[in-house]
Amino acid sequence: MRDGMKYWKANLRLIIICLVIWFVVSYGFGILMVDKMNTIRLGGYKLGFWFAQQGSIYIFVALIFFYAKKMSKLDREHDVHED
């Protein structure tokens, strides 16, 4: 049970890290700071526009696989993995 608690804490920490990135790339770069980001250019894209219509989606995909990989490791470390 104690280990279960530790595992849950570690999981929560990982979720928070991932969701901070999730928030920054979409709500941050794509919405709240879009005007600032748009002063930088990526080819024909303004960077804020790129994050809003392309970049954030790529990062979402990467985040899920990162989380899944880290969690598989955590599952084993805390011995709560499925057989």
- Secondary structure of 30-66 in HEC code, one letter for each residue: HHHCHHHHCCCEECCEEHHHHHHHHHHHHHHHHHHHH
- If one counts every other C-beta atom within 10 angstroms of the C-beta of residue 1, the result is 5
- Binding another protein (rule: CB under 8 A), the pick from 4, 13, 36, 40 is 4
Based on the shown chain and the rule CB under 8 A, indicate whether residue 10 belongs to the binding site for another protein. Answer: no
Positions 39 through 78 that interact with another protein (CB under 8 A): 42-46, 49-50, 52-54, 56-58, 60-61, 63-65, 67-68, 71-72, 75
Q: Which residue, chain included where needed, has tokens 């279960």?
A: 4
Q: Which residues bind another protein (CB under 8 A)?
A: 1, 4, 7-8, 11, 15, 18-19, 22, 26-27, 30-32, 34-35, 38, 42-46, 49-50, 52-54, 56-58, 60-61, 63-65, 67-68, 71-72, 75, 79-82
